[in-house]
């Protein structure tokens, strides 16, 4: 029997050290089915102290560790490589809500708590935790932090970085960094917390967090709006911002092709408009009260925009059920893309005002490179974040399209680079984009990140092959 596995079982109990192929299977492939890895063992510690003990043991043995939460990563960030050397450290047993302070508006949780449970706990306490997106039923707070998750409410509440006050992290050597502060102001040195948010399991294992809570919105107004194109959607965004201010909570864009794909694959999705539009936006306002007044405000903004030609048609939800039906369309996009077949996914961000120009340029460039390729474009328009996915031409051999994907990704990301955008807005680099980092990040960026990585994980055992490739050569010295 593998001596490391015996020691791990001694630490955690045999039931929490998975070695059989059957037990390990759910942990070794990603949600998109793009990556499949192997592990020496999958371990499920039940406490911060147990995580620390596992890290001390793995560091002593020189064994790589892949932290994993809900395994919903869209960049292969939580999937081990095929060597079988690594331990997958699943945080899912660490699922306690440690404290909720309704006066201080904070909730303290284990890293393995599922996002939907934090939303429910906040609601039961008369508060609101705003992070929200399609995977909320299975992704965990630790993964949300490690990937600096975004989702549909960033427009009003920010990404996970803005929603976090404190962290507890187990370092590669097993030391526990207790940064579990609920302070909203603390200027006593570097923001160590922010180093770990978005670090994708490569700098430490997040075991706990203090998150911000907000006042519960009691009124919502939701509309599904047909627009001519992304340029009109951007103008409508400006109108919605002017007329609705901070009440504007979500502004989700979809092209007509994206909508058609969703309706084709998601049975319960129904288009609430008279005809299939060229593009559409799901707009949601929320406020403390006066739902009729909120709906009136939204309606006035839309009526004015019909006159100016920004809006072609609109449906305003009359109740929560209709609003949910509108959201079911938007949330169906990921599953629709998976059902349609392997898309070339791009999760890009850029200055908001550059988006219309980007879509026009990228569409033209990819059509030149791949006749019949089908852009499926949707995303969080107010954040400057588009999910620019590409599907093969109708009837094209998937293998032939897969062979085209690197060139298509290069084209899309070149269009982003010339707009000073990012090749990963919210999904992280993972293993999907790691090879592009030297191409897309400035040498100084990479040097500083590498220095931090070498400081916190000198043996390179934390999530190897993700975010930062192997050791970069030291900056060349001219002498
Ligand atoms: P995992 O997939 O388990 O891990 C993600 C990364 O974090 C990996 O690098 C892993 O090593 C690391 N990690 C996990 N837990 C820890 C920990 N405790 N300590 C240190 N490192 C850790 N993402 C968005 O941002 N916005 C969206 O709108 C969005 N929509 C999605 C819709 C669907 C249908 C799906 C399947 C995914 C979507 N995602 C979205 C992507 C994904 O859900 C998020 O990145 C999520 O935050 C990952 O959480 P997780 O617990 O599943 O993490
Ligand atoms: C979304 O916004 O739905 C997600 O980021 C998932 C995706 O891009 O498929
Ligand atoms: Zn998204």
Handedness of CA 34, 40, 45, 51 (dihedral sign): negative
The pLDDT score that the predictor gives to residue 477 is 41
The yes-or-no answer to whether 219-334 and 341-417 have a common fold is yes
β-pairing, 219-227 with 313-316?
Answer: antiparallel
pTM: 0.96
The pLDDT score that the predictor gives to residue 21 is 97
Q: Is 387 in the pocket of ligand 2 (CB under 6 A)?
A: yes
* Sheet strands (E) in 382-478: 385-391
Atom of ligand 1 nearest to the CA of 159: 25
Instruction: Kindly indicate whether the domain formed by 97-215 is annotated with CATH number 3.30.465.10.
Output: yes
Nearest Cα to Cα of residue 107 among 122, 123, 91, 124? 122
Q: Is 250 in the pocket of ligand 2 (CB under 6 A)?
A: no
219-334 folds as Alpha-Beta Plaits (3.30.70)
Any idea which residue has 């992290």 for tokens? 169
Encode pLDDT of 283-334 as tens digits.
999 999 889 999 999 999 999 999 999 999 999 999 999 999 999 999 999 9
Q: Which residues of 323-337 are buried (b: 16+ CB within 10 A; e: fewer)?
A: bebbbebbbbbbebb
CA 124 to chain centre: 25
Note the CATH architecture for domain 3-92: 2-Layer Sandwich (3.30)
Q: Which residues of 294-310 are buried (b: 16+ CB within 10 A; e: fewer)?
A: bbebbeebbeebeeeeb
Three-class DSSP labels, 404-417: HHHHHHHHHHHHHH
Q: Is 333 in the pocket of ligand 2 (CB under 6 A)?
A: yes
pLDDT mean over 46-67 = 98
Nearest CA to ligand 2 atom 8: 387
Distance CA 26, CA 69 (A): 12
* β-sheet bridge partners, residue 281: 225, 253
Encode pLDDT of 214-237 as tens digits.
999 999 999 999 999 999 999 999
Helix-strand-coil percent breakdown of the chain, rounded to 5?
40, 20, 40
341-417 folds as Alpha-Beta Plaits (3.30.70)
Encode pLDDT of 154-177 as tens digits.
999 999 999 999 999 999 999 999
Q: Is 167 in the pocket of ligand 2 (CB under 6 A)?
A: no
Distance CA 116, CA 122 (A): 10
Instruction: Tell me how far apart the terminal alpha carbons of the chain are, to the nearest angstrom.
Output: 53
The pLDDT score that the predictor gives to residue 59 is 97
Distance CA 32, CA 380 (A): 20
pLDDT mean over 373-400 = 96
- Please, which residues have CB within 8 angstroms of residue 192's CB and are 6 or more apart in sequence? 177, 179
Q: Is 334 in the pocket of ligand 2 (CB under 6 A)?
A: yes
Q: Is 90 in the pocket of ligand 2 (CB under 6 A)?
A: no
Coil, helix or strand at residue 10: helix
Percent of the chain residues topping a pLDDT of 90:
96
Nearest CA to ligand 2 atom 6: 334
Domain ranges within the chain, ordered by starting residue: 3-92, 97-215, 219-334, 341-417
- Please, which residues have CB within 8 angstroms of residue 39's CB and are 6 or more apart in sequence? 24, 27, 28, 66, 80, 84, 86, 87, 88
Q: Is the pLDDT of residue 479 over 90?
A: no
Atom of ligand 2 nearest to the CA of 379: 2
Using the mean position of ligand 2's atoms as its centre, give its distance from the Cα of residue 334 in Å.
6
- DSSP string covering 95-108, please? --EEEEETTTTEEE
Q: For the chain, state the CA radius of gyration.
A: 23
Confidence of residue 471 (pLDDT cuts 50, 70, 90): low
Any idea which residue has 């609430």 for tokens? 272
Atom of ligand 1 nearest to the CA of 430: 9
Nearest CA to ligand 1 atom 27: 151
Nearest Cα to Cα of residue 133 among 147, 112, 154, 106? 154
Distance CA 434, CA 20 (A): 30
Counting ligands in written order, the one closest to the CA of 153 is 1
Distance CA 153, CA 28 (A): 31
Confidence of residue 1 (pLDDT cuts 50, 70, 90): confident
Phi, psi of 451 (to 5 degrees): -60, -40
Q: What is the enclosing helix (H) or strand (E) of 179?
A: strand 176-179
Nearest Cα to Cα of residue 275 among 244, 303, 315? 315
pLDDT mean over 453-473 = 88
Atom of ligand 1 nearest to the CA of 200: 9
Using the mean position of ligand 3's atoms as its centre, give its distance from the Cα of residue 88 in Å.
26
Counting ligands in written order, the one closest to the CA of 258 is 2
Nearest CA to ligand 1 atom 47: 144
- Token pair recorded at residue 248: 């504007």
Of 78, 171, 348, the residue with max ligand 1 atoms within 8 A of its CB, to mutate for a pocket test, comes to 78
Any idea which residue has 């994993």 for tokens? 68
Of 43, 74, 159, 384, the residue with max ligand 1 atoms within 8 A of its CB, to mutate for a pocket test, comes to 74
């Amino acid at each position: 029997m593998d001596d490391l596995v015996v020691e791990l079982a001694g630490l955690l109990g045999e039931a929490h050290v998975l070695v059989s192929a059957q037990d390990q299977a759910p942990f070794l492939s990603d949600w998109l089915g793009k990556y499949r890895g192997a592990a020496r063992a999958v371990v499920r510690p039940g406490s911060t102290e147990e995580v620390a003990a596992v890290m001390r043991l793995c560091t002593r043995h020189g064994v790589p560790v892949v932290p994993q939460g809900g395994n919903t990563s869209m960049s292969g960030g939580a999937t081990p490589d095929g060597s079988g050397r690594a331990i997958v450290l699943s945080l899912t047993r660490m699922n306690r809500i440690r404290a909720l302070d309704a006066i201080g508006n904070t909730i303290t949780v284990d890293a393995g708590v599922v996002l939907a449970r934090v939303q429910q706990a906040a609601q039961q306490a008369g508060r609101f935790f705003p992070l929200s997106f399609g995977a909320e039923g299975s992704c965990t707070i630790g993964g949300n932090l490690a990937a600096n998750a975004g989702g549909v409410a960033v427009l009003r509440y920010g990404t996970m970085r803005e929603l976090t006050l404190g962290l507890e992290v187990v370092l590669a050597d097993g030391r526990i960094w207790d940064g579990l502060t609920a302070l909203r102001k603390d200027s006593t040195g570097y923001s160590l917390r922010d180093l770990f948010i978005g670090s994708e399991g490569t700098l430490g294992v997040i075991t706990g967090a203090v998150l911000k809570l907000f006042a519960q919105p009691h009124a919502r107004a939701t509309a599904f709006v047909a627009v001519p194109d992304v340029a009109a959607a951007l103008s409508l965004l400006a109108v919605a911002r002017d007329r609705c201010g901070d009440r504007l909570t979500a502004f989700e864009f979809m092209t007509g092709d994206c909508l058609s794909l969703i309706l084709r694959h998601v049975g319960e999705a129904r288009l609430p408009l008279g005809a299939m539009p060229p593009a559409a936006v799901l707009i949601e306002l929320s406020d403390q009260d006066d739902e009729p007044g909120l709906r009136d405000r939204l309606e006035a903004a839309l009526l004015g925009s019909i006159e100016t030609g920004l809006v072609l048609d609109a449906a305003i939800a009359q109740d929560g059920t209709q609003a949910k039906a509108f959201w079911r369309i938007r949330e169906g996009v990921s599953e629709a893309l998976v059902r349609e077949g392997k898309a070339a996914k791009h999760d890009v961000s850029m200055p908001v005002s550059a988006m219309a120009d980007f879509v026009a340029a990228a569409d033209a460039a990819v059509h030149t490179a791949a006749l019949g390729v089908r852009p499926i474009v949707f995303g969080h328009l107010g954040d400057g974040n588009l999910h620019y996915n590409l599907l093969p031409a109708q009837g094209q051999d998937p293998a032939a399209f897969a062979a085209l994907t690197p060139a298509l990704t290069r084209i899309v990301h070149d269009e982003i680079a010339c707009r000073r955008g990012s090749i990963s807005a919210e999904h992280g680099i993972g293993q999907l984009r790691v090879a592009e980092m030297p191409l897309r990040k400035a040498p100084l960026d990479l040097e500083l990140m590498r220095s931090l990585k070498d400081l916190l994980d000198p043996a390179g055992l934390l999530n190897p092959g993700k975010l930062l490739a192997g050791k970069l050569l030291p900056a060349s010295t001219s002498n």
